[in-house]
Structure 1
């Protein structure tokens, strides 16, 4: 029954995207149907074909190696605070874990690895191969396909750097697709961090995060073309060159990757501190209102009620939908890291293993208000002549990004 519920949810989520879109009569049913078929087939291949599943399972070993390497660095620099041997007996299990000094520094290591792999020309062929597949199967322009494929590995601002010269020439639909691709995925720099947080709870968590990143490409194209269909002639097709890495040597790539990672790390730490404080403050204000159902009103409870129907559509039983809805609301208003931290704290009585897996996919995207500011600032700088249009599409891109990740969650619910 839950799988049938997920199947109904897939149709309902696409209907919501259509209802919230613009120029609905211009939506190509053929292209939408093809996009849905490609997205589902991609999910089936990645999740159900044994050989492919084993190959993605090997990613967990790579993530484990990266985590161990990061822990070696934090232990050396920060001592027992960074995960080294404790100079005292541990009285409370888990009390020795310090998020800022043990888990978050993985972002630094991943930033350097990503920069090195681009400088060594390892990632560009993979990105271009995915772009070619997206062009041939879904009919998107070369620039859009390249940016969407790059979102598998990079963030919402880094990926469009691949196609910076083409942004000004894009149609409104293509521009929205670029924004949706950014909102519907996560960067490789934080993928390992999230996988580390959920590894104790979800088997092969790292593999699922990678699959979610790959699956997000066709799903983002499907949702964006339903919400803002193409009505103009595309001017950004054809073969595109690789981006300039701006690194002159391997050591230079390491230094620049570290600097970029440090900026990202500090932003993550600062945002976590401020956003958690603001949520606590908001809950303190809401607690002044009369209690409902024997419990104080909180931001999480309110968001849970709003997003619970969406979680039900993904295939969760209603008894777990409110809890899951609270996570989706936290992810949308704050960010996905806080939502994943909250998910890691929940026990199996609140949300079962199948629901955890669905939520992993449903929250695997940057669609939140803080990210919107980053995207508008980045794209507006790259394409100043399109700044007004980028601003106008901003809130719509949060909706499209959220619908995309929820669609992935529903598809996973259908297959599990």
Structure 2
């Protein structure tokens, strides 16, 4: 039965993408089929094989050690502030982002990261049939983050037509930054984080290839990565430490605002209608949760968490998921994979602002197709969760 529901879910996702396509005649189906098969193979390997378990365990253990190292710095500054046996979210989940940011800075400084990103992108471009720039950007987004990635391609921003700019922005919204992956792993099962990272990379190309199909000629297929201004090693460290701190503070501020706002709206709805706002959204999103593979009896509960992510962000939704301890392992896994992306309303402003900071005209272009960005990125999350649901 779950396979029939999964097939229905995939058909709905592709139908919704097809309806929103800006050029249905240019859709190339061969790369789509290849990437869907790759998604299924990778999902099976990561979720149902000993090799996949070994890789996920290894990836998770690396982040466990990094978070432990980060805790040394946090405890040095904030030791004794928290009550014994209690671990404030800001200290244990958000502040370690600073240390991960520093490591990314070191890998950038030593040119290891740009080398890895560039050549993985080149390999992907052979699979997805898209340009080298698009493939580079997708990999870079998953490591550098949805706003920082545009700095590395800022020379090209002003030269890109609208359709290529959309693809770059959609990749940025469909993935997550490596600097906050460790934070996710403290909130949901690491195997779902890793699976989502891999599936979203291909899912982004699949959905964009339907929503926004085009071909890139050899003349247009340029890949010139912006080199950062040469700094001393310690200047770089200081910059990435502050960048990581800004991310942690920004996430904390958004959590305070969104959690409080949702609590107020829930209270208003509960007082007037006898049902919370999140429960109401749960009924709206329940059919999508069911098509992703969530059992119908848990679909409203799952739909509520999915909606919370879209109207706030993935951190708020992950905190909400943690409260649903009675949810089945299958439903928990599917929802967890759906949550691992930047597909929410606030990301529209973040991405448009990042591009506008580099090129004002192109930033305005991004703002105009912002809702379509969210539409596409949400379909990517649904697609990844549906594929994973086949093997949970």
Q: Same fold (TM over 0.5)?
A: yes
Q: Give the match's secondary structure for 1:68.
A: helix
Higher helix content, 1 or 2 = 2
Q: How many residues align?
A: 392
| Per-residue deviation, residues 65-90 of structure 1 (Å, max 9, x unmatched) | 1121122222221113358xx3xxx6
Asked if residue 287 in structure 1 is aligned to residue 265 in structure 2, the reply is: no
| Per-residue deviation, residues 183-242 of structure 1 (Å, max 9, x unmatched) | 1111111110010122xxx3xx1x43233223212210110121122167575414x344
Q: Give the match's secondary structure for 2:310.
A: helix
**Corresponding residue of 1:107:** 97
Asked if residue 61 in structure 1 is aligned to residue 37 in structure 2, the reply is: no
Asked if residue 384 in structure 1 is aligned to residue 355 in structure 2, the reply is: no
Per-residue deviation at 1:45? Answer: 4.4
| Per-residue deviation, residues 282-337 of structure 1 (Å, max 9, x unmatched) | 1222123232xxxxx21211211111111111111111111111111000000000
Which of 286, 308, 312 is 1:308 aligned to?
286
Asked if residue 214 in structure 1 is aligned to residue 198 in structure 2, the reply is: yes
| Per-residue deviation, residues 142-182 of structure 1 (Å, max 9, x unmatched) | 11111011122121111222222122232333211111111
Alignment of 1:336-355 (within 5 A): 336-347=314-325, 349=326, 351-355=327-331
Which of 115, 121, 141 is 1:151 aligned to?
141
Is the 2:131–2:216 contact (alpha carbons within 8 Å) kept by the matching residues of 1? Answer: no
Asked if residue 260 in structure 1 is aligned to residue 243 in structure 2, the reply is: yes
Alignment of 1:78-89 (within 5 A): 78-81=78-81, 86=84
Alignment of 1:12-27 (within 5 A): 12-27=12-27
**Corresponding residue of 1:142:** 132
Alignment of 1:1-400 (within 5 A): 1-48=1-48, 50-81=50-81, 86=84, 96-198=86-188, 202=189, 205=190, 207-230=191-214, 236-238=220-222, 240-246=223-229, 248-291=231-274, 297-347=275-325, 349=326, 351-400=327-376
**Structure 2: distance between partners of 1:245 and 1:116:** 13
Relative to structure 1, is the Cα distance of residues 190 and 236 closer, same or farther in structure 2, using a 3 angstrom cutoff?
A: farther
Is the 2:142–2:172 contact (alpha carbons within 8 Å) kept by the matching residues of 1? Answer: no
Which of 375, 378, 381 is 1:402 aligned to?
378
Is the 2:153–2:225 contact (alpha carbons within 8 Å) kept by the matching residues of 1? Answer: no
**Structure 1: distance between partners of 2:173 and 2:343:** 5
Taking structure 1 as the reference length, the TM-score comes to 0.88
Relative to structure 1, is the Cα distance of residues 247 and 269 closer, same or farther in structure 2, using a 3 angstrom cutoff?
A: farther
**Structure 1: distance between partners of 2:284 and 2:49:** 36
RMSD of aligned alpha carbons: 2.1
Taking structure 2 as the reference length, the TM-score comes to 0.93
Per-residue deviation at 1:47? Answer: 4.1
**Structure 2: distance between partners of 1:277 and 1:44:** 39
Relative to structure 1, is the Cα distance of residues 154 and 3 closer, same or farther in structure 2, using a 3 angstrom cutoff?
A: farther
Is the 1:171–1:234 contact (alpha carbons within 8 Å) kept by the matching residues of 2? Answer: no
Relative to structure 1, is the Cα distance of residues 235 and 99 closer, same or farther in structure 2, using a 3 angstrom cutoff?
A: farther
Structure 2's unaligned 5+ residue stretches are none
Relative to structure 1, is the Cα distance of residues 335 and 235 closer, same or farther in structure 2, using a 3 angstrom cutoff?
A: farther
Q: Give the match's secondary structure for 2:94.
A: coil
**Structure 2: distance between partners of 1:229 and 1:130:** 22
**Structure 2: distance between partners of 1:245 and 1:51:** 37
Structure 1's unaligned 5+ residue stretches are 91-95, 292-296
**Structure 1: distance between partners of 2:219 and 2:149:** 19
